[in-house]
Structure 1
Amino acid sequence: MDKFKVRTIDLQQVQNQTHHKTDGLSSSTVVLRRGQAFTVTINYDGRPFDPLKEKLIFQIVLGPVSVEVPVSRLGQPSLTQWSAVLERRLPNPTGPRALSVSLSSPASASIGVYTLQLRVEARLNVKTHSLGQITLLCNPWCQTDSVFLQSEDLRTEYVRSDIGLLFKGSPGNMVSRPWSFDQFEKGILDICMKLLQLSPQHQADMRTDLQNRSNPVYIGRVISAMVNSNDDKGVLMGNWSGDYSGGINPSQWSGSADILKKWAEAQFRPVKYGQCWVFAAVMCTVMRALGIPTRVITNFNSAHDTDGNMVIEEYYNEMGKKLSMSKDSIWNFHVWVESWMKRPDLGQGYDGWQVLDATPQEKSAGMFRCGPAAVKAIYQKKVEAQYDVPFIFAEVNADVRTIIIKDKKVLSTSIDKKRVGALISTKRPGSMLMQDITSEYKTEKDKLPSRAPDAGAAGTVAISRHHLREDDSAGEREASKGIEVSLQLLKAPVVGENISFNVIITNNMAAPKLLKKHVNAQNKEYNRNPTGTFWEAHDDVKIAPNETVTIKHEIPFNAYMLKEAVEDYMVNLAVVIEDVESQERVLASEEFNIRSPALSVQIQNEFSVVINTPQVATVTFTNLFNVAVSGELTVSGSGLLEEKAQMTITIQPRETMKRPVNFTPKMAGAKMLSASLVLTNPPTVLHGFKTINVQAS
């Protein structure tokens, strides 16, 4: 009988990717997860395969490292090394002649792009066949993988979902804004693999880098450095200057694919520009694409402690103006990611969520990167644990010392232990709501006693008061014997409307008082101290014994309107009350954001959206400004729209715009249609979104 001869080899892409939960990921290779078997079909001519006459050996190559895997007739796939076992099949005398081999990678295999070959060794000759390439990813479905996640719902949310919400603003006036992670978009996985290949670690020592890529702790550290461009050919350049000429305003990004594709198309030159939520969202995309469960986290009132003393100093003058005298700052919000992995390097008890921060703030072992820091280590104040736990611990726990000065002389000082890390939040799995995870980072006693109302809640927004007195040795004192003051916003501020607030003053003394009241409002970037005063009010107040007076103020819209389009209008508002007779001064201050109006996105038949069936969405916006507004409307949706829909629009005062957008869903599951409107006058960015459950046909 003629000899056994291999004709073709099939990597069974569709079947294997479905089994490996990598269907939908777009790559020039077959995409698989480690620690799981996949089937290779060998079509042959001639007589059936006879293990006594020929050997089949797979060669699996990753860079300079290669492993030989002989095919055995019997046995189980190995958990610790590559293995290949012949699958038992009943011969089909009339069908094509084929062998099926079950190939398995260990759950600790390095992630990367592998080249596969098959060698057929007979007595007289050796033939080598090329099978092509596979991309191997981490496997949260595999119990022995160090990124294994128990719950299918959480794996769906943190690995497979490509829609997200980023929380911004302030705890009392939170803004949720849509983000498309885009890990299933064409070519994105290949770009994520390129990120690993261009890292300084890979360039310096390819073999060591490839071996270390078995460990998600190492991968997270590499990606955290590569998402920013500070030390390497990283993806994004940060810019907090307010001048975004030569690039794109960070507020205008709405998804990760545009950024990653732009980076790849520009020969890996950094994309301009990013801020913290953009760095975090892109990092989330890359980690999910690599198979590491990841979520985006917002820390409200995030301390940046530059000198490591766990105290943030804030200075005000006697007129209530905040001064830039300290390198320390409190970001109104800061955004990072958490990735799920085991931490054998930290000993028992630190597996689970790990903080990784790609925003370039401080160096970690010589590079701009941060983490992975175990959330449990932050909670337990284990500041000696790797990596960067002290820095993140300060971000959520630092004390704030507020000091009023005049002519370099300290007039009064106080300490607030509650303000930093007031709220730590993420998107709730399976819904578009916020999940409060503050208690995972800090104990009850470290937390803010009362939460401000949810974003969008009507009515009064109570502003936390913090009083300043002459300090005593303990740094805090009992309630003032003299004067108390607090601020109260009358409604959540919205761009285009006046800001209304009350100053409430109480005289605790049995004698009348003459007071001077200084109110000061300053524009503020979310990540640093405020700039110049844009509105102030100074007047005298007479107050009777034991009286409380409430004084209402309005800041007109034209006073706070900024020059550059931003979605985070931040205001630092402060009031200083001076007792003319005793010279005692009391301060109340608050930072808050002014929200942009929202766009409405509606779907015609939202409960019967079926894959490959045309649909219509309508974007609606009513112009509540007193002037005509114009700008660019962009609608996008991964798996819904091939190309973004873009249109220039002008809307008269009080007019309602309705714009239809046609789309045809290409993927089943939870998808998101998001719209953004960048207005030039007033300069602001508006967002809206709609989640859609696309049904399979």
Structure 2
Amino acid sequence: MDEFKVRTIDLQQMQNQTRHKTDGLSSSTLVLRRGQAFTVTINFDGRPFDPMKEKLIFRIVLGPLYVEAPVSVSRQPSLTQWTAVLEKCIRNPTGHSAFSVSLSSPASASIGAYTLHLRVETRLSVKAYFLGQVTLLCNPWCPADSVFLQSEDLRTEYVKSDIGLLFKGSTGNIVPQSWSFDQYEKGILDICMKLLQVSPQHQADMGKDLLNRSNPVYISRVISAMVNCNDDKGVLMGNWSGDYKDGVNPSKWSGSADILRMWSETQFSPVKYGQCWVFAAVMCTVMRALGIPTRVVTNFNSAHDTDGNMTIEEYYNEKGEKLSMSRDSIWNFHVWVESWMKRPDLGRGYDGWQVLDPTPQEMSAGMFRCGPAAVTAIYERRVDAQYDVPFVYAEVNADVRTMIVRNGRVLSTSVDKRRVGALISTKRPGSMSMQDITSEYKTEEDENTYRGSMAGVTGRSTTFRCEPQSDRIMASKGVEVSLQLLKAPVVGENISFNIIITNNDAAPKLLRKHVNAQNKEYNRNPTETFWEAHDDIKIGPKETVTIKHEISFKHYMLKETEEDSLVNLAVVIEDVKSQERVLASEEFIIRSPSLDIQIQNEVSVIINTPQVATVIFTNPFNVAVSGELTVSGSGLLEEKAQMRHITETHAYDPTPRNHKEARQFHSQDGRCQDAFC
């Protein structure tokens, strides 16, 4: 009989990727998950493979590292080392024959781009074959993997889902924003792997970096640093100045693919620009692509404690104007991610969700990154636990010390222990609505009373609290004051609010009232005052008075309303006789008008059939406006855009993958309709 001769080798890409739940991920290689067997088919001529006469040895190579796995006819697959086991032989009627080999990677294998080789050794010869490249990912379906997540529903949401919902705004007026994570878009997985290759850790010591890639704790710290560009050739450059003329306004991004492609196509030049939700959303894309369960989290009233004293100092002058006298600040919202992994370095009890923050705020071990900080450690106040638990603990639990000052002298002080971390939220699995996860970070006594009022926030609605913000009241024995917004502020409308003053004494008082409204960025202290009011008030014994104010649109109107605007509103009440002063403040968002999307026949959408949707925008202004409508579709076919008209509206077929269309519109009657099919 003829000698055994290898003819071809088939990596069975489609079948293997289906079994490994990597089908849909776009890569130039076979994409597999660690800790799970995959099949290689070897087609041969001549006599069948005889392990007594020839040896088949697979060599698995990762950079300068490699391991060899001889084909065995009896050995069982292993979760701790690479193994190769002969499965079955098939003889075809044509004379060609084949057999399958089951290759298994350990559940702790390093993730990365491997090359596979096969060596056939006989008594007289040695022949080598190149099989191809394999990208190995983490495996949340494998119980032995350190990122194992038991629930299939949660794996679907936090690994496989490419559509998300981010939350911005303020606790009283939450703004949901949809985001396309795009991990299935063409070439995105390969770009995500490039982040690891370009990292300073890989460049400094390739072998050490590749060995450490077995550990999701290490991987997550590398990615946290690489999403920002502050220390390396990272993806995004942050910009909070308001000037984005040489880049893209962070609010314009709606998905991760454009950002990652731009970074890759410019030879790893930073993409301009990102802010916290963009950094977090891009990191979520990378982590999900690498197989690590990840979700985007928003912390409302997020403290940035620069000096590590767990206290945020705020200063106001006696006229109610907030002053920039402290490096500390409270971000109206801050967005990070949580990734699911085991934490053997922390001991028992700290596995599960870990906070990771790629927004460059403070350095961690010499680089701008944050985490992974175990959520359980934050809840238990384990501020000695690595990584960066004290910083994250302060973000959700810091005290707020508010002072009224004049000429460098403190006139009055109050301490608020509940304002920071008022609401911590994420997208609810399987739903386009908000899930309150504050209780995972804070004990009951720490939790803010906002929590109950936030139930029911979804991607198309907003909740708004109109009751007085009792946790923001600075009270003296004699006078109390609070602010009450009467309705959710919307661009184009007046801002209506009440000031409620109570005289606790049995004698009348003469009070001076100072009200001040300032523009504010979500991540810093307010800037200039755009509206103020000052007057004297007489109040009777034990009397409560309510004073209504309105700030007209002309006072807060911006030259260009591109995104939701934030306002810091404060009132200082001065007792003329005693010189005591009390303050109440409220930060809120002025919502931009929303787009209403109506899908025709939503329940009967058919693949490859045009679908009609109508986008309705209502102009709140008394003048005509112009703007740009951007329509995007994720997971659709490439290069198949079709444009046609439907009556007096525009229409298009959203078949291109990640297709985006920008259309100018002009509104004369206050309503703009644009349909696409």
TM range (shorter): over 0.9
What whole-Å deviation, never above 9, does each CA across 1:240-261 have from its counterpart, x for those lacking one?
Answer: 0111121100000000000000
Match of 1:636 in 2: 632
Match of 1:432 in 2: 432
Match of 1:507 in 2: 503
Match of 1:232 in 2: 232
Deviation of 1:95 after TM superposition, in Å, equals 7.1
Equivalent residues in 2 for 1:198-217 (5 A)? 198-217=198-217
Separation of aligned partners in 2, 1:677 and 1:133: 42
Structure 1 residues 467 and 247, CA gap change in structure 2 (3 angstroms): closer
Match of 1:498 in 2: 494
Which is further off, 455-464 or 11-20?
455-464
8 Å contact from structure 1 (residues 621, 658) kept in 2: no
Deviation of 1:512 after TM superposition, in Å, equals 1.7
8 Å contact from structure 1 (residues 610, 665) kept in 2: no
Match of 2:651 in 1: 660
What whole-Å deviation, never above 9, does each CA across 1:362-391 have from its counterpart, x for those lacking one?
Answer: 000000000000000011111111100000
Match of 2:514 in 1: 518
**Equivalent residue of 1:225, what SS?**
helix
Separation of aligned partners in 1, 2:229 and 2:253: 18
Deviation of 1:495 after TM superposition, in Å, equals 1.5
Match of 1:585 in 2: 581
Aligned Cα root-mean-square deviation (Å): 2.5
Deviation of 1:449 after TM superposition, in Å, equals 2.5
What letter matches 1:279 in structure 2?
F
Structure 1 residues 605 and 91, CA gap change in structure 2 (3 angstroms): same
**Equivalent residue of 2:626, what SS?**
strand
Structure 1 residues 468 and 613, CA gap change in structure 2 (3 angstroms): closer
Separation of aligned partners in 1, 2:544 and 2:661: 47
Identity %: 78
**Equivalent residue of 1:87, what SS?**
strand
Equivalent residues in 2 for 1:318-357 (5 A)? 318-357=318-357
Structure 1 residues 341 and 467, CA gap change in structure 2 (3 angstroms): closer
8 Å contact from structure 2 (residues 570, 583) kept in 1: yes
Partner of residue 605 from structure 2, selected from 576, 592, 609: 609
Separation of aligned partners in 2, 1:61 and 1:31: 15
What whole-Å deviation, never above 9, does each CA across 1:636-690 have from its counterpart, x for those lacking one?
Answer: 121136479899xxxxxxxxx9653422487xxxxx9999999999xxxx9x999
Separation of aligned partners in 2, 1:676 and 1:399: 45
**Equivalent residue of 2:546, what SS?**
strand
Separation of aligned partners in 1, 2:442 and 2:95: 65
Structure 1 residues 679 and 296, CA gap change in structure 2 (3 angstroms): farther
Deviation of 1:619 after TM superposition, in Å, equals 1.8
Structure 1 residues 118 and 243, CA gap change in structure 2 (3 angstroms): same
8 Å contact from structure 1 (residues 223, 283) kept in 2: yes
8 Å contact from structure 1 (residues 453, 461) kept in 2: no
Match of 1:40 in 2: 40
What whole-Å deviation, never above 9, does each CA across 1:380-423 have from its counterpart, x for those lacking one?
Answer: 11111110000000000000000001121111000000000000
8 Å contact from structure 2 (residues 164, 178) kept in 1: yes
Structure 1 residues 305 and 359, CA gap change in structure 2 (3 angstroms): same
Deviation of 1:604 after TM superposition, in Å, equals 2.3
Deviation of 1:333 after TM superposition, in Å, equals 0.4
Match of 1:533 in 2: 529
8 Å contact from structure 2 (residues 563, 592) kept in 1: yes
Deviation of 1:441 after TM superposition, in Å, equals 0.4
Separation of aligned partners in 1, 2:140 and 2:287: 12
**Equivalent residue of 2:616, what SS?**
strand
Match of 2:72 in 1: 72
Q: Which runs of 5+ in 2 are unaligned?
A: none
Match of 2:177 in 1: 177
Match of 1:600 in 2: 596
Structure 1 residues 324 and 641, CA gap change in structure 2 (3 angstroms): farther
**Equivalent residue of 1:211, what SS?**
helix
What letter matches 2:470 in structure 1?
R
Match of 1:570 in 2: 566
What whole-Å deviation, never above 9, does each CA across 1:463-510 have from its counterpart, x for those lacking one?
Answer: 4135666xxxxxxxxx64311111000101112211111111111222
Match of 1:393 in 2: 393
Structure 1 residues 640 and 600, CA gap change in structure 2 (3 angstroms): farther
**Equivalent residue of 1:23, what SS?**
coil
What is the number of residues matched between the two proteins?
663
**Equivalent residue of 1:255, what SS?**
coil
Structure 1 residues 178 and 459, CA gap change in structure 2 (3 angstroms): closer
Task: Indicate yes or no: 2:632 matched with 1:627.
Answer: no
Which is further off, 627-636 or 280-289?
627-636
What letter matches 1:371 in structure 2?
G
8 Å contact from structure 2 (residues 174, 463) kept in 1: no
Match of 1:548 in 2: 544
Match of 2:17 in 1: 17
Match of 1:311 in 2: 311
Separation of aligned partners in 1, 2:282 and 2:316: 37
Equivalent residues in 2 for 1:361-376 (5 A)? 361-376=361-376
8 Å contact from structure 2 (residues 174, 462) kept in 1: no
8 Å contact from structure 1 (residues 516, 577) kept in 2: yes
Task: Indicate yes or no: 2:124 matched with 1:124.
Answer: yes
8 Å contact from structure 2 (residues 633, 656) kept in 1: no
Match of 2:466 in 1: 461
Which is further off, 129-138 or 594-603?
594-603
Separation of aligned partners in 1, 2:203 and 2:358: 20
Deviation of 1:540 after TM superposition, in Å, equals 1.4
Separation of aligned partners in 2, 1:459 and 1:130: 62
Separation of aligned partners in 2, 1:281 and 1:624: 31
**Equivalent residue of 2:102, what SS?**
strand
Deviation of 1:615 after TM superposition, in Å, equals 2.4
**Equivalent residue of 1:445, what SS?**
coil
Separation of aligned partners in 2, 1:16 and 1:284: 25
8 Å contact from structure 2 (residues 513, 572) kept in 1: yes
Deviation of 1:13 after TM superposition, in Å, equals 0.6
TM-score with structure 2 setting the length = 0.94
Match of 2:115 in 1: 115
What whole-Å deviation, never above 9, does each CA across 1:267-307 have from its counterpart, x for those lacking one?
Answer: 10000000000000000000000000000000000000111
Deviation of 1:594 after TM superposition, in Å, equals 1.2
Q: Which runs of 5+ in 1 are unaligned?
A: 470-478, 648-656, 667-671, 693-697
Equivalent residues in 2 for 1:161-172 (5 A)? 161-172=161-172
Deviation of 1:516 after TM superposition, in Å, equals 1.0
Separation of aligned partners in 1, 2:70 and 2:415: 69
Structure 1 residues 544 and 551, CA gap change in structure 2 (3 angstroms): same
Separation of aligned partners in 1, 2:510 and 2:95: 101
What letter matches 1:505 in structure 2?
I
Structure 1 residues 447 and 460, CA gap change in structure 2 (3 angstroms): closer
What whole-Å deviation, never above 9, does each CA across 1:192-240 have from its counterpart, x for those lacking one?
Answer: 0000000000000000000000000000000000000000000000000
Structure 1 residues 453 and 118, CA gap change in structure 2 (3 angstroms): closer
8 Å contact from structure 1 (residues 250, 274) kept in 2: yes
Deviation of 1:127 after TM superposition, in Å, equals 1.1
TM-score with structure 1 setting the length = 0.91
**Equivalent residue of 1:119, what SS?**
strand
Match of 2:481 in 1: 485
8 Å contact from structure 2 (residues 650, 675) kept in 1: no
What letter matches 1:82 in structure 2?
W
Separation of aligned partners in 1, 2:395 and 2:212: 30
Structure 1 residues 458 and 106, CA gap change in structure 2 (3 angstroms): closer
